[in-house]
Amino acid sequence: MSMKIPFFNYKQSKESFRYMEGHTPEHIAIIMDGNGRWARKRGLPRVAGHKEGISAVVKIVKAAVKCKVKILTLYTFSTENWKRPKTEVDVILRLPKEFLQVYLPELISNNVRIEAIGDMGKLPAHTREAIQYAIDRTRDNDGLQLNFALNYGSRNEILHAIKEMYADINEAKLSLDELDEQKFSKYLYTEGLPEPDLLIRTGGEKRLSNFLLWQLAYTEFWFTDVLWPDFSEKEFLHALEEYRQRKRRYGGI
């Protein structure tokens, strides 16, 4: 399946992207679910669904840029995904490189900055190198920050943070008396990022699947039955419209 579809050079009515910055979530996180089921429905191997899912990534990054979203975090590969067949894992971990080989120049020209969160050390060299190259090339961009969550698991992240924090306490860099939520958050992979305003999960499931458990404490959730390869700009805008109508009270009245 060809990945070479237009990225930013498309015609879209201004009315479709009428959301003002004040109504748009600053940080959107997405659990991209349903690739395998999309393929199975068409009598295709599961890997075909993962490759088709790249088209949805292109559409949604494009839409996020148009809507002036500041941060988009995509759950790309979880710590649990290693349990899948090796052939499927190998394909998934090649997709970031394939995506960036095609679209990195356009991402750069549109001021997108690439970052990654997760335990990158356990990923194949080709995946790490492709992501690091993109991070280096886009470091000075200040538009949409596109985060790939790779080999990411929230429980693993929290345990890693506790170990790092414990080491700092032992070295007298931190005391228990000064420890609070804000200081703990600095030990997470998402250090320096605002917590997501909106979580989108495609594919019909209604669970977090070990994704950003600490960070999603006050996030608005939006679930859809649409499988990820079929997730469109229209669905994305629908999620934003529902978010715009919600009242976020953070425990208050």
Residues of each annotated binding site: 33-38, 46, 50, 78-80, 82, 84, 201, 207-209, 220
- 81, 110, 156, 210: which one is catalytic? 81
Q: What is the DSSP letter of 83?
A: G
b/e burial code for range 224-248 (CB count within 10 A of at least 16 → b): bebbbbbbebebbbebbeebeeeee
Look at residue 253 and give its three-state secondary structure: coil
Residue 107 vs residues 50, 81, 102, 111, 228: alpha-carbon distances, Å: 21, 27, 10, 6, 21
Residue 68's Cβ-count burial label (10 Å; 0-12, 13-18, 19+) is middle
- 9, 33, 180, 230: which one is catalytic? 33
As annotated, the binding site for substrate includes 34-38, 46, 50, 78-80, 82, 84, 201, 207-209
Q: How many CB atoms lie within 10 A of CB 102?
A: 16
Nearest 5°: the CA angle 158, 57, 154 is 10
Pairing of the two strands 145-152 and 113-117: parallel
Residue 33 among the catalytic residues? yes
Residue 156 among the catalytic residues? no
As annotated, the binding site for Mg(2+) includes 33, 220
List residues with catalytic annotation: 33, 81
